[in-house]
């Protein structure tokens, strides 16, 4: 099959799977500049306790090493799937980031991309589907393949569509013509920097995960500090900074001008599950392990575990229970 025909068939298959945009890049080592900046970011401790981000540096630098056939990995295919929907949680509900409203995207996207992988296999090519958990610089490859650009909020922004997207990659031995990289930028906007609740975003494009509410409510396993240094507004009680957020934070996306008219997902699994519509912090504190398992079956929220979710709810409703001796008090 001619390479152009295969490319068109892959785009069509990805679109049928629910992807809003698909791009291709030549597989190879990431740019030295990217590797250096990521290394400096790690050395500064900006990844907090996400120690896995420092693992497998060789794989992260060259995605060809993740392929089923290292010698034959020629292309990184990137697909962007919208998870935006217009359903909202009830006023006063414990807030969950929109990406976690529905089913776990790892499961959903892997299943949906399986027919795309089968197409490649049928044509005699090897491939591997990568969805977030593999050590891949996803946003780098998304920009390289023309999908979008990395915004000041560290999100991948698809021009004309915004940032409410999941990314997935297929590393394949098929040699497909690469698309032109996306060279967009945020210009002088900076709205996300001003809106970030705890000052995780910097005007120069830097990002300190240790200040990010998504990191604190999902990845961080320790006791939350009583106060958080919000940079722009000084030290504030952590309960005040959290608001009603118990899992993640969409503030930098909410204020982004690129998200004025985001495309609604056509994937029903990403819609708001009924159990989250009116759930409260009190409900979470009273939740049993069995209730947690039932409520969040096939949900990304399981990553925080019941203990983490209840810690976050307690920090909002019972701020005196957070750790007053946490060394991060007053520093975010």
**Sign of the four-CA dihedral 13, 22, 50, 293:** negative
Instruction: Tell me the CA end-to-end span of the chain in Å, nearest whole number.
Output: 55
259, 191 in Cβ contact below 8 A?
no
182 domain residue, yes or no: no
What CATH number should be reported for the domain holding residue 38? 3.40.109
How many structural domains are present in the chain?
Answer: 2
Same domain, residue pair 37 and 82: yes
240 domain residue, yes or no: yes
Give pLDDT, residue 330.
40
Across-strand partners of 75? 26, 172
Contacts of 71 (CB under 8 A, 6+ apart): none
Same domain, residue pair 210 and 317: yes
326 domain residue, yes or no: no
Same domain, residue pair 144 and 197: no
Same domain, residue pair 37 and 151: yes
Q: What are the helix (H) ranges across 189-271? A: 191-195, 213-214, 238-242, 251-254
* pLDDT < 70: residue spans in the chain: 1-3, 68-71, 232, 319-332
Instruction: Choose the final residue of a domain: 120, 141, 172.
Output: 172
Same domain, residue pair 37 and 158: yes
183 domain residue, yes or no: no
* 229 has catalytic annotation: no
Give pLDDT, residue 4.
77
Domain that holds residue 307: 191-321
Which residue, among 26, 29, 117, 139, has the nearest Cα to 75 in the 3D structure? 26
User: Is beta strand 165-172 parallel, antiparallel or unpaired with respect to 75-82?
Assistant: antiparallel
Same domain, residue pair 268 and 128: no
186 domain residue, yes or no: no
Give pLDDT, residue 24.
98
233 domain residue, yes or no: yes
Output the pTM of the full model: 0.92
Q: Which tokens in the block code for residue 62?
A: 């060259």
Q: Which tokens in the block code for residue 164?
A: 């409410």
278, 90 in Cβ contact below 8 A?
yes
Give pLDDT, residue 328.
45
Contacts of 164 (CB under 8 A, 6+ apart): 82, 83, 84, 98, 99, 253, 259, 262
Same domain, residue pair 20 and 147: yes
Same domain, residue pair 107 and 211: no
Please pick, among 132, 179, 283, 326, the residue that the annotation labels catalytic: 132
What are 67-125's pLDDT values in tens digits? 765 457 899 999 999 999 999 999 999 999 999 999 999 999 999 999 999 999 999 99
Give pLDDT, residue 178.
97
What are 206-232's pLDDT values in tens digits? 899 999 999 999 999 999 988 887 776
289 domain residue, yes or no: yes
Same domain, residue pair 111 and 232: no
259 domain residue, yes or no: yes
Report d(CA 157, CA 131) in Å as an integer. Answer: 18
Same domain, residue pair 116 and 68: yes
Same domain, residue pair 225 and 123: no
Same domain, residue pair 165 and 200: no
Instruction: Choose the final residue of a domain: 172, 201, 226.
Output: 172
């Amino acid at each position: 099959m001619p390479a152009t025909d295969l490319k068109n068939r892959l785009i069509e298959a990805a679109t049928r799977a629910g992807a809003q945009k698909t791009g291709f890049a030549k597989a190879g080592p990431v740019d030295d500049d990217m590797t250096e900046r990521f290394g400096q970011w790690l050395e500064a401790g900006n990844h907090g306790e996400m120690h896995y981000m420092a693992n497998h540096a060789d794989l992260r630098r060259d995605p060809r090493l993740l392929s089923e056939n290292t010698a034959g990995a020629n292309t990184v295919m990137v697909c962007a799937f919208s998870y935006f929907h217009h359903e909202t949680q009830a006023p006063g509900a414990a807030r969950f980031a929109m990406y976690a409203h529905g089913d776990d995207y790892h499961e959903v996207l892997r299943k949906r991309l399986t027919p795309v992988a089968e197409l490649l296999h049928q044509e005699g090519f090897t491939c591997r589907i990568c969805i977030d958990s593999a050590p891949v610089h996803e946003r780098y490859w998304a920009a390289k393949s023309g999908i979008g650009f990395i915004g000041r909020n560290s999100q991948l922004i698809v021009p004309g569509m915004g940032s409410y997207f999941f990314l997935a990659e297929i590393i394949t031995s098929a040699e497909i013509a690469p698309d032109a990289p996306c060279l967009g930028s945020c210009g002088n906007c900076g709205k996300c920097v001003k809106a970030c609740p705890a000052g995780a975003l910097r005007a120069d494009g830097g990002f300190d995960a240790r200040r990010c509410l998504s990191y604190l409510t999902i990845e961080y396993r320790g006791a939350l500090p009583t106060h958080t240094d919000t940079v722009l507004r000084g030290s504030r009680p952590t309960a005040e900074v959290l608001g009603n957020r118990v899992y993640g934070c969409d503030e930098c996306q909410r204020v982004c001008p690129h998200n004025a008219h985001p495309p609604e997902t056509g994937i029903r699994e990403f819609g708001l599950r009924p159990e989250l519509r009116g759930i409260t912090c009190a409900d979470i504190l009273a939740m049993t392990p069995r209730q947690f398992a039932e409520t969040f079956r096939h949900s990304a929220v399981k990553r925080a575990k019941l203990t983490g979710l209840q810690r976050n709810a307690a920090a909002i409703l019972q701020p005196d229970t957070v750790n007053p001796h946490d060394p991060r008090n007053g520093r975010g």
